[in-house]
Chains A and B, each alone.
Chain A
Amino acid sequence: MISTETLKARALQIRKLSVQMVSRVNASHIGSSFSMVELLTVLYSHFLKIDPARPQDPARDRFILSKGHAAASLYATLAVHGFIDGSELEEYNLPGSRLLGHASHKVPGVELSTGSLGHGLPVGCGLALAAKRLGRRHRTVVLVSDGELDEGSNWEAILFAPHHKLDNLLLVVDYNKIQSLGNVKDVLDLHPLAEKFETFGWHVKEIDGHDVEQIRSALDNFAEVQGRPMVILAHTVKGKGVSYMENLLAWHYKSPNQEQLAQALQELEEQQ
């Protein structure tokens, strides 16, 4: 089993790569990318059965990043785990690159192109249902943002999954409490989110989404849940890991300048 230290080190590496990518091309969404880094790290390092040498293996687990705007840290995660070459990250968002600003299925390891919100979970339900009907054992994991839960299509799927007993489907909510134009509680409050999922028939696990051991333990709990889907409500911090970004709406859009990049890298280095 991979050590806690290695998971933490990988998360830091993914943050460093992500902030460099975003800063280089003056792109948005570093805050959204940072809030889910530990989730991605533990998913790819510990949980998902996906072989970077055979990313299309029919027996692979399926992972959909529904919050496609946070693609930077997904691409960095894929590079760290050997799906794409690390040097390709330098082309992120540059003309001609397949590393688009939103997650693209042209990149090995990305199942579904996303960007328009509320698409990942319905497709994930289809993948999970197909596995059930075909007697296949692979699992489907969908990661959504909290703001994304405003989309009604999610609630159609949230109603659907327990009805069809999709216990091979795992939903992870990156609950960072900030959406595009403000705090989630002010824009369209999700609270009480755990109770909502429970009422809909889901098995709910609430964790600190930056604590790699809590994430690992929640993911390991998934196998024990029978007869219904599971959701992990991961409480996270937008812009996690860089002092001047944390919990600030501006970093949904802003890109660090050279000075800010240097500070971010230094702060991340100090967390090593």
Chain B
Amino acid sequence: MDTLTRLAAEDERIFLVTADLGYSVVERFADAFPDRFLNNGVAEQNMTGIAAGLAMSGYTVFTYSIANFPVMRCLEQIRNDVCYHNLNVKVVAVGGGFSYGSLGYSHHGMEDLAVTRVLPNMTVAAPADPFETEAIVNTMVKTPGPGYLRLGKAGEPRLHEGPVELPCGGFLKVRSGQGVTILSTGGMLDSALKVSQELSRQGVEATLISVPYLTPLDQQGLLQVLSGSELLVTLEEHGAGGLSSVIAELLMETGTFIPFLPLYARGEIVSVAGSQEQLREQVGLGVHQVTARILEKWKK
């Protein structure tokens, strides 16, 4: 939101619409640019239609709400009104994965990446930390067309050392190793770093790459980085159809053979309270579970 507020000072096209969510997050923007802020009420279908109308009139519109609400509730408005007309509407969801874990399944973002990445004209990005978020928001504002930005909660740790260079479709190598390559999207990078440290302690030096963009994706660049890998792992706090599918499709379509371990939440609905890390463990995505799965596959 800080990035958006800064950009809005330079770019008078930027407009923010929320569906009555964003307490203590949107106020700075709303106070600075009241003419380009709208709390539309708890009505996501209308929010997305309004965003389309605003974008048709020249605005670059960010819609904002928690977890599934700005995506699932109004998926058809995003598909027909925004994507079909290729409008400058960027859908922002906070609460990707289990960020709002204890609030229950309604607030778990487990299908959003799968659903948005198949929409035409759509850019889909799930940044891992505030540096990635800043780079992606900067790029989205400059890139015409629909976008989906999947965030965690506010206050995620900074994982990169400083601001990152991240062109649209780009990815970031976080750690260099040999043999095992871990591709992580969104907030799982934090876990992936811990996994790679665990692996290192066990004598396996994994390469770790943060893949915030699901679509578009610099496929050639990624294939180049992957050449020489002997085990490819994808890691995401999401169900089927997200990064794992993006990478599986890439490998199959290009005839690239690398042993593949896709790690994601396999359809299990979590209905117990717990911290984000506890809920990750519920679906087999805890740091130690992931480390064990990789070692098991690696040693085979």
Query: Which chain A residues have a beta carbon within 8 Å of chain B's beta carbons?
Result: 105, 111-116, 118-119, 121-131, 133-134, 136, 152-153, 156-157, 159-160
Asked if B49 lies at the interface with its beta carbon under 8 angstroms from chain A, I say yes
Complex alpha-carbon distance, A159 and B41, angstroms: 10
Closest Cβ neighbor of B74 among chain A residues: A153
CB of B56 within 8 A of CB of A127, answer: yes
Query: Which chain B residues have a beta carbon within 8 Å of chain A's beta carbons?
Result: 35-36, 38, 40-41, 43, 45-46, 48-59, 76-77, 80-81, 84-85
When distances are taken between beta carbons in the complex, the residues of chain A under 8 Å from B56 are 111, 123, 126-127, 130
Complex alpha-carbon distance, A118 and B48, angstroms: 12
CB of B41 within 8 A of CB of A153, answer: no
- Chain B nearest CB from A65 CB (Å) reads 14
Closest Cβ neighbor of B53 among chain A residues: A126
CB of A129 within 8 A of CB of B77, answer: no
When distances are taken between beta carbons in the complex, the residues of chain A under 8 Å from B38 are 129
Indicate which residue in B46, B50, B55, B57 contacts A134 across the interface (CB closer than 8 Å): B57
When distances are taken between beta carbons in the complex, the residues of chain B under 8 Å from A111 are 56
| Known contacts A119-B49, A123-B52, A157-B46; is-contact A131 B81 (Cβ 8 Å) | no
CB of A112 within 8 A of CB of B45, answer: no
CB of A131 within 8 A of CB of B57, answer: yes
CB of A153 within 8 A of CB of B40, answer: no
CB of A123 within 8 A of CB of B49, answer: yes
When distances are taken between beta carbons in the complex, the residues of chain B under 8 Å from A133 are 35-36
26 A-B contact pairs sorted by A residue (CB < 8 Å):
A105-B85, A113-B85, A114-B80, A116-B76, A116-B80, A119-B77, A122-B77, A122-B81, A123-B49, A125-B46, A125-B50, A126-B50, A126-B57, A127-B57, A128-B53, A130-B53, A130-B57, A133-B36, A134-B58, A153-B45, A153-B77, A156-B43, A157-B46, A160-B40, A160-B43, A160-B46
Q: Which of B41, B59, B81, B84: most chain A CB closer than 10 A?
A: B81
CB of A157 within 8 A of CB of B57, answer: no
Indicate which residue in A112, A116, A126 contacts B54 across the interface (CB closer than 8 Å): A126
CB of B41 within 8 A of CB of A122, answer: no
CB of B35 within 8 A of CB of A112, answer: no
Closest Cβ neighbor of B50 among chain A residues: A126
